[in-house]
């Protein structure tokens, strides 16, 4: 009696037709390698899929954070812009008119210097509203090699000045300049409010 008859045969039979045959060691090794490669490929595909999914979640979370941050930034910027409105209005309505009035003589001196250079030797006149004449009375003394005649015109309002050298004449209107700046401030804050209202 052979030893093989005493023990059960656990080798893997391969069915061919109606008969079973034993798988050779080489075929068994090929079968194992194919199973390993298939398992490895499935694991690799699963890892790539998980990584892609995780990357997608991270990207989505990052984009959401950027959106939230952008919204917060624009909200803060709009709030800051609106909070500066009283300051800008005070500058335009109170500080700027006073500053222009206080420095009107200096501005006129600069403008007259430019005009006098272009028309040397011509008579120089500065025509202002009666309320501005007193403030400008001594502003031009000893500043020019020629005399500057200060005239008053009741048709002019405060802040309006007419400069003349010979036949050349130009006008300065501080009030119109302040009004123009005020209109620009109004337009700016109207735009800010519209942007805030419509997001």
- Model confidence over 143-189: pLDDT tens digits? 665 667 888 989 888 778 887 877 777 787 777 777 787 888 888 88
CB 125 within 8 A of CB 151: yes
Can you tell me the distance from the alpha carbon of 81 to that of 88, in angstroms, rounded to the nearest whole number?
10
Asked if 175 and 158 touch (Cβ cutoff 8 Å), the reply is yes
**Is residue 137 helix, strand or coil?**
coil
Q: What is the pLDDT of residues 111-131, one digit of tens each?
A: 666 666 655 667 778 888 888
159: domain CATH number is 3.30.2320
Instruction: Mark whether 105 and 167 lie in a shared domain.
Output: yes
pTM: 0.39
Please indicate, yes or no, whether residues 98 and 162 belong to a single structural domain of this protein. Answer: yes
Higher pLDDT, 53 or 95: 53
pLDDT in tens, 16-52: 555 556 778 888 888 889 989 998 898 898 888 888 8
Chain centroid to CA 19: 83
Please say whether the beta carbons of 198 and 84 come within 8 A: no
- 50 with 124, same domain: the answer is no
Q: Are 64 and 134 within one domain? A: no
Strand ranges of the sheet holding 160-165, from the earlier edge strand across to the other edge? 148-152, 124-128, 160-165, 168-173
Q: Are residues 110 and 137 in the same domain?
A: yes
Do 76 and 27 belong together in one domain?
A: yes
Q: Which residues form the domain of 70?
A: 22-83
Indicate the number of domains in the chain.
2
Is 4 inside any structural domain? no
């Amino acid at each position: 009696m052979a030893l093989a008859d005493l023990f059960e045969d656990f080798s893997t039979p391969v069915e061919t037709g109606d008969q079973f045959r034993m798988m050779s060691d080489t075929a068994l090794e090929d079968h194992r390698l194919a199973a390993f490669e298939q398992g490895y490929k499935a694991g690799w595909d699963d890892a790539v899929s998980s990584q892609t999914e995780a990357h997608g979640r991270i990207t989505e979370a990052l984009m959401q954070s950027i959106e939230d941050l952008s919204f917060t930034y624009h909200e803060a910027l709009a709030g800051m812009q609106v909070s500066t409105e009283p300051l800008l209005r005070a500058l335009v309505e109170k500080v700027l008119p006073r500053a222009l009035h206080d420095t009107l003589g200096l501005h006129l001196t600069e403008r007259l210097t430019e005009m006098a250079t272009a028309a040397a030797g011509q008579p120089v006149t500065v025509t202002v509203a009666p309320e501005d004449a007193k403030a400008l009375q001594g502003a031009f003394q000893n500043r020019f090699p020629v005399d500057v005649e200060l005239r008053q015109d009741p048709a002019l309002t405060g802040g309006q000045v007419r400069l003349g050298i010979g036949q050349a004449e130009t006008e300065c209107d501080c009030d119109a300049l302040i009004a123009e700046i005020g209109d620009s401030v109004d337009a700016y804050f109207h735009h800010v409010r519209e942007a805030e209202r419509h997001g």
